[in-house]
Amino acid sequence: DAGVTQSPTHLIKTRGQQVTLRCSPKSGHDTVSWYQQALGQGPQFIFQYYEEEERQRGNFPDRFSGHQFPNYSSELNVNALLLGDSALYLCASSLAGTVGWGYTFGSGTRLTVV
Amino acid sequence: DAKTTQPNSMESNEEEPVHLPCNHSTISGTDYIHWYRQLPSQGPEYVIHGLTSNVNNRMASLAIAEDRKSSTLILHRATLRDAAVYYCILNNAGNMLTFGGGTRLMVKP
């Protein structure tokens, strides 16, 4: 049973560019959350998608946007990249209504902005 | 979500028990206590969770203080594969997980 799949695994972008990261949730899961993890820190919540709508959002600017598709997969888009956006971006899937133990994380996409 | 406090790092010898503490003095009655760990170059993975009673699973045990203001994750026999950052998280809404800095566990052979 495949877990959460994220692509690409690594990415290098130039400041000012736009990037799209992709996530396929674990089979049976319908909710996708995105986290940003800077080096040496814990993951920070960006937003969560359920039923193709953003349900909850963390303290991130509008440059960060997302989408969820009918098959529950999701994309994270970041516009006007800044050097500070360099981080590991993690996708977590869960089943709606599951409290915090039900999250499955992918291995992440390492984004480097130069 | 209420805040948790964990030591930045801990060391253990291989095959010895490890007790990872977590303080959560502002925990509410409906907050579950979750533990996740993050191995190098991987995303976090679920370890264990509890509400009031001590819990055991194949990975670890969770001991919860009677007043619920602290808890301890117990690894009964640490292996080199257990070297990771361990996060103690309070959650009651099933939405976002609020990660702190966690405890970096180093296991010596």
Q: What does the pLDDT profile of chain A (114 residues) look like in tens digits?
A: 579 999 999 999 999 999 999 999 999 999 999 999 999 999 999 999 999 999 999 999 999 999 999 999 999 999 999 999 999 999 999 988 777 678 999 999 999 999
Nearest to B45 among A55, A58, A105 (CB): A105
What residues of A are in the B interface, CB distance below 8 Å?
A: 4, 33, 35, 41-45, 48, 55-56, 58, 90, 92, 94, 97-108
Q: Which residues of B touch A100 (CB under 8 A)?
A: 32, 34, 49, 89, 91, 94, 97
What residues of B are in the A interface, CB distance below 8 Å?
A: 32, 34, 36, 41-46, 48-49, 85, 87, 89, 91-102
Measured between alpha carbons, how far is B102 from B92 in angstroms, rounded to an integer?
A: 19
Q: Do A48 and B99 touch (CB under 8 A)?
A: no
CA contacts within 13 A on the Cβ side of A108: 22
Q: Do B96 and A103 touch (CB under 8 A)?
A: no
Q: Which residues of A touch B8 (CB under 8 A)?
A: none
Report residue B3's pLDDT band, with 50, 70 and 90 as the boundaries: confident
Measured between alpha carbons, how far is A5 from A35 in angstroms, rounded to an integer?
A: 14
Report residue B1's pLDDT band, with 50, 70 and 90 as the boundaries: low
- The DSSP secondary-structure symbol of B40 reads T
Strand, helix or coil for residue B58: coil
Report the gap between the CA of B13 and the closest CA in chain A (Å). 24
Q: Do B32 and A106 touch (CB under 8 A)?
A: no
Strand, helix or coil for residue A11: strand
Q: Which residue of B has its CA nearest to A95?
A: B94
Q: Do A42 and B99 touch (CB under 8 A)?
A: yes
Encoding tokens for residue B33?
């206590």
Give the number of other Cβ atoms within 10 Å of residue A111's Cβ.
21
Is residue B77 exposed (0-12), middle (13-18) or buried (19+ Cβ within 10 Å)?
Answer: exposed
Nearest to B95 among A4, A44, A56 (CB): A56
Cα angle value B76/B82/B86 (rounded, 5°):
95
When the pLDDT of each residue in chain B is averaged and rounded to a whole number, the result is: 92
In this prediction, residue B2 carries a pLDDT of: 65
In this prediction, residue B100 carries a pLDDT of: 87
In this prediction, residue A55 carries a pLDDT of: 92
Report residue B98's pLDDT band, with 50, 70 and 90 as the boundaries: confident
**Helix and strand numbers, DSSP H then E, in chain A:** 0, 11
In this prediction, residue B94 carries a pLDDT of: 59
- Give pLDDT tens digits for B58-91: 999 999 999 999 999 999 999 999 999 999 998 8
